Amino acid sequence: MESDRSSSSDAADQSPAGFGFLCKKAYAPPPWASHLRPLPSHVFSLGHLPTPIHRWNFPNLPKGTEVWLKRDDLTGMQLSGNKVRKLEFLLADAVAQGADCIITIGGIQSNHCRATAVATKYLNLDCYLILRTSKVLVDKDPGLTGNLLVERLVGAHVDIISKEEYAKIGSVTLTEILKEKLIKEGRKPYVIPVGGSNSLGTWGYIEAIREIERQQHSGSVKVKFDDIVVHAFSVCDDPDYFYDFVQGLLDGLEAGVLSRDIVDIHNAKGLGYAISTAEELKFVKDIATATGVILDPVYSGKAAYGMMKDMTENPKNWEGRKVLFVHTGGLLGLYDKVDQLVSTVANWRRMDVHESVPRKDGTGKMF
């Protein structure tokens, strides 16, 4: 794809030839998606793509089952996670519309909001975040834990709303209120919905499927996958809600297919969105210890936990299958669970050095 820098933001316009990162490029869809409408005209290169795929030594698998891992947690340090795939299309549209600032909304530890805050600064745009939290914390400084630290370091404007107010008013109205306020101040805001989840953002994962196809066909991954496990484990609301939500995305693309025909959604929300049980966090810890892969507690951790439970309860359904699990990132969300994790990571001790070992000041250099 050729770089098109004529209508990009200044940050992208100044990208030297030969450097693809932060460049705006003309977009051509995969042939099997060319019938979808509307087609995006351009896309920004924000993520470090393609993300790698490797075999995952997931414990206690059913007979003959292989689990492979798509590392969308490695799209980039500050932008880490799958949200950057959607932002590549959404921010290209924002720039094309002449926006000078971005509004988005989510939970207090939203990975999407953090990724948006960073990406907007890369493109010389201001970022306004509406974050929901507990009503007992809504009037307090939200702190610097996890995603909040990154958002506030890059200068995002943060508005806090209680979960109760959020539930009564809704994300669309809240973002519209802020949009109208900014317009009156002479700004040109562009609203990105919760999670970047609209039909335009969906193109990010249409591209992800093309990426997986290329990785399989290029020989870098010599395996044909039977199943892909990612959003099919719902971590909030219930499967019926998400079947309807996905149907809305498909209808917005004029796809002409039914959500229930193309995806099987399981409930993995547990106690609720971003609320972890002790068993779920122990699972995250055990997987990290066994495989070196750190899952987040909100999305991939609950999805993998749900996959593990289904494998245990229905092993025949998984036997002999090659499964690709998409790790969607969210590592920073673990920092919000530190107090709950303390009891699971007590593997430390003071080093015992016998008194007979010679000691001399200045022997050990502090570098």
Catalytic residue positions?
A: 110
Give dist(CA 126, CA 119) in Å, integer. Answer: 10
Give dist(CA 39, CA 192) in Å, integer. Answer: 18
Cβ 102 vs Cβ 190: under 8 Å: yes
Q: Is the peptide bond before 142 cis (omega within 30 degrees of 0)?
A: no
The set of residues, in sequence order, having a beta carbon less than 8 Å from that of 127 and lying 6+ positions away, is 101, 102, 104, 116, 117, 120, 121, 151, 154, 155, 156, 157
Cβ 298 vs Cβ 273: under 8 Å: yes
Report CA torsion sign: 129, 135, 138, 141: negative
Give dist(CA 226, CA 324) in Å, integer. Answer: 8
Nearest to 85 by CA among 116, 110, 108, 60: 116
Cβ 3 vs Cβ 24: under 8 Å: yes
SS3 letters across 2-49: CECCCCCCHHHHCCCCCCCCCCEEECCCCHHHCCCCCCCCEEECCCCC
